[in-house]
Amino acid sequence: MSRFIVATDFSTRSDRALRRGSLLAKATQGALTLVHVVDDDQPRELVELETTEARKLLASQTDALRNIDGVDASHYVAQGDPFQAIAKFAEDYKIDLVVLGPHRRQILKDVFIGTTAERTIRNTAVPVLMANALPAAPYRHILVAVDLSENSADALRCATQLNWGEKPALSLFHAYGAPEHLMRGVMSVSEADVQRYLKEAQDRAEASVAAFLRPLNCRPVRQLVEMIDTEPSLMIRRAAKTIGADMVVIGRSERSSLAKLILGSTSEAVLQSADIDVLVVPRGWAPHPSGAGEPP
């Protein structure tokens, strides 16, 4: 059975995560646990009051999920640091996927770095799905961005092996650097040479992607292999729009230019501005064995 948790702070942003989690649980006949964390760095009386009120709210939401949506739903209230409690719950109970709402946006100040969402993505060993779009249906088309590293192989495995219910189409995106001759700006390079260099670079990149996919036994319906012409995050968003993807999948890594999409200088651009869902897969991801863990 697939197990999902929705981390909620009862904000309107969490409503999207709740709806996406409900759709996933219903499509997969999986179990959904709503998790709320009460910050314990405050007077004990206030912690207990917030805990009691949170349980009431979660009980109401889980009742609605069971009775209206027909979802196997439960709830859990933890006390402590939000991101640590969410990550610990997910790992203790072998959760397949953590679903979060979109990060908080402010007009004058971006507050993504340091938020519960960012810290959860950075530290949990479980894939984290940021539900940015208004959920209306199961996923139809997933775009996986890869840099040909083992980490991006994990992301691709996760995208294909996680239970989404209906099997969505899967496309792959890879960006590569310009030929060295052009990067150095050699003035003597003729137009014919430029085109030859570009063709050779494209051929090498496509061959590298083919070699990357071969041991993974994966055949994307579409492969977008493009030379870098702008910020990688913008290229990924552009590719997702081109193919009509409703989810982008990226491996969490900090080693290479594309890997820096996650929790690096360009990562925030994808997660902050994406209008579709973003799934972040940790290094070394592997599916849980059946029957592992049982949420309270």
Kindly report, residue by residue over 153-203, the tens digit of the pLDDT. 999 999 999 999 889 999 999 999 877 655 555 556 677 877 888 899 999
**How many domains does the chain fold into?**
2
Burial 136-171 (b: 16+ CB within 10 A, else e): eebbebbbbbbbbbebbbbbbbbbbebbbbeebebb
The residues, ordered by sequence, that sit 6+ positions from 55 with a Cβ below 8 Å of its Cβ are: 75, 77
293 and 175 within one domain: yes
User: CATH number, domain at 52?
Assistant: 3.40.50.620
Residue 261 is predicted with a pLDDT of 45
Of 6 and 13, the one with more pLDDT: 6
Domain end position, chosen among 104, 134, 164: 134
Residues of the domain holding 247: 138-296
211 and 126 within one domain: no
Which stretch of 34-38, 206-210, 284-288 has the lowest confidence by average pLDDT? 284-288
Residue 136 is predicted with a pLDDT of 87
184 and 121 within one domain: no
pLDDT digits (tens, 9 = 90+) for 195-240: 888 899 999 999 999 999 999 989 999 999 999 988 888 899 999 9
Whether the Cβ atoms of residue 21 and residue 161 lie closer than 8 Å to each other: no
Cα-based angle 280, 284, 288 (whole degrees, multiple of 5): 85
Number of helices and strands (H, E) in the chain? 9, 10
Sheet harboring 247-251: ordered strands across?
A: 72-79, 31-38, 3-7, 97-100, 128-130, 277-281, 247-251, 141-145, 169-176, 222-227
Residue 242 is predicted with a pLDDT of 95
Q: Report CA Rg, the chain.
A: 21
Q: Which two tokens stand for residue 272?
A: 């902050």
Whether the Cβ atoms of residue 147 and residue 205 lie closer than 8 Å to each other: no
pLDDT digits (tens, 9 = 90+) for 120-154: 787 788 999 999 999 989 999 999 999 898 989 99
224 and 91 within one domain: no
Cα separation of 49 and 51, whole Å?
Answer: 5
179 and 59 within one domain: no
204 and 68 within one domain: no
**Does position 256 have pLDDT exceeding 50, yes or no?**
no
Residue 291 is predicted with a pLDDT of 53
Residue 197 is predicted with a pLDDT of 83
List C-alpha distances in Å: 236 to 193, 218, 258: 29, 20, 10
284 and 145 within one domain: yes
214 and 107 within one domain: no
Domain end position, chosen among 113, 134, 155: 134
What's the chain's length in residues?
296
pLDDT tier, 260 (very low <50, low <70, confident <90, very high otherwise): very low
Distance of CA 28 to the CA centre of its chain: 18
Domain end position, chosen among 83, 112, 134: 134
Residue 190 is predicted with a pLDDT of 76
pLDDT digits (tens, 9 = 90+) for 40-88: 989 999 999 999 999 999 999 999 999 999 999 999 999 998 888 998 9
Residue 169 is predicted with a pLDDT of 96
Longest dimension (CA), the chain: 76
Of 221 and 257, the one with more pLDDT: 221
Residue 292 is predicted with a pLDDT of 54
The tokens 């999409």 sit on which residue? 261
Residue 11 is predicted with a pLDDT of 87
Cα-based angle 115, 85, 17 (whole degrees, multiple of 5): 60
Of 38 and 102, the one with more pLDDT: 38
142 and 74 within one domain: no
82 and 14 within one domain: yes
Torsion angle defined by CA atoms of residues 142, 147, 148 and 149, in that order, rounded to the nearest 10 degrees: -110
174 and 102 within one domain: no
